[in-house]
Structure 1
């Protein structure tokens, strides 16, 4: 009897991914022969210098981009935008003509949630990201951090098994970024959602990721992998975790690997 492909058990499986832009001799290889997987409930972080292909890989998993070579599956099927995945971008990308609740209700409608259930579900999602009672507020009345929380709530509207996050906190101030990091970490731990997260920050990667993949550019490829092994259960004291010796050690180790990867092909 043939053995099952282990990728069939992964929530995200990218195998032999190569992405080229342009044609023939003028083409540029952005990503070359990259394979990665995320098991159910795993929080995988991609780090690396600008232009190494982190966002390209996330967009392939979302179904927004098709690879030149290789295969991609999400929960065993070819990626389709909005099916089984929620996506959060660096900018919130909320509809400015809708309220906070209206943005989420729109996503619920797209998922086929009956109209009479949307208001309660919207309030539940807003409360989940710490924004209870803000459904009627306009997007311009919300701070940048609050807008990003609404974007996360909207991504969760379809109860996705997989959440894809592309540097969602990069444009926020340090305090808001830390607060949202803790909230996303707790949310993922409590829900068991599988997360693929893109960042430039070694500290953010170590805090959030159960596993961190380091990429290098020219062309984009994975050059290192780090298992963090930090406590991930819901209710973990994240502030104490940030101050721990193990966190500092892992952050330093990852930062060193990222510096080496940023040197280019010679470092790989």
Structure 2
């Protein structure tokens, strides 16, 4: 039985987004709408997986959604129709940007101090996330002293501390061992239910892991005879009763959905 829920006001809208460089069309007719999911007696954020094969234009769309790149045509709006701008979203790129001249703790404190909701509790929240992400021993180190996986986790914490309603994650599961992968996925789920309006958009090649924590899947690809990539298919995992469940990866309907997604790529 499908979990009781309603979809309420629009949080993010992509409307006829296109991108071209000269005569080269990268993206065309990108349309989708993310609505506030409301469930009885709980806060429920949104988790969207954006999936497509390498080179299809996911990174360009990622930058447009975050306001870091302007589309050639169309628009991306958030909340009550406001055009998205750089800084409106927490963005976690694959290259894990950190301040190289500050310790991990100093970088995280700088992020926490930008979030008024944390006033007075910055240090406690840094400790909380550091423990959850297995980074307690690295807080006094500089970024160049960290492994790639540690830099990635520090970068995720940095954006979580800033407290944006929107969190865009580029390959958040790459380079993580199994133990840390489980911790990161659990924490992202915790983040998604920390606030009714919290919205996570995950770009990942790890289809199984990202879909397992999502409520919606957007599949990017090309269509025969048309240049540029578009959203070929949208899968509502709530309608399929595949959202918000522990151990969902073992269910046949979930396995079949992952195969369906792969067949679209």
TM-score by length of 2: 0.79
Contact 1:129–1:152 at 8 Å: present in 2 too? no
Cα shift at 1:138: 3.1
Aligned Cα root-mean-square deviation (Å): 2.8
Q: Which of 30, 33, 37 does residue 33 from structure 2 map onto? A: 37
Question: 1:226–1:12: structure 2 CA closer, same or farther, 3 Å change rule?
Answer: same
Cα shift at 1:116: 6.5
* Equivalent pairs, count: 242
Question: 1:144–1:175: structure 2 CA closer, same or farther, 3 Å change rule?
Answer: farther
Contact 2:138–2:146 at 8 Å: present in 1 too? no
Question: 1:219–1:174: structure 2 CA closer, same or farther, 3 Å change rule?
Answer: farther
Question: 1:113–1:102: structure 2 CA closer, same or farther, 3 Å change rule?
Answer: farther
- Specify the alignment match of 2:236 in structure 1: 227
- Specify the alignment match of 2:212 in structure 1: 207
State how far apart, in whole Å, the 2-side matches of 1:114 and 1:132 are: 20
Cα shift at 1:244: 2.7
Residue ranges of structure 2 left out of the alignment (5+ in a row) = 1-7, 37-44
- Specify the alignment match of 1:9 in structure 2: 9
Residue ranges of structure 1 left out of the alignment (5+ in a row) = 1-7, 259-268
TM-score by length of 1: 0.78
Q: Which of 194, 203, 213 does residue 199 from structure 2 map onto? A: 194
- Secondary structure of 2:152's partner? helix
> Which has the larger share of strand?
2
State how far apart, in whole Å, the 2-side matches of 1:72 and 1:246 are: 33
- Specify the alignment match of 1:61 in structure 2: 65
Contact 1:38–1:196 at 8 Å: present in 2 too? no
State how far apart, in whole Å, the 1-side matches of 2:248 and 2:120 are: 42
Cα shift at 1:115: 8.9
Contact 1:125–1:153 at 8 Å: present in 2 too? yes
State how far apart, in whole Å, the 1-side matches of 2:120 and 2:161 are: 15
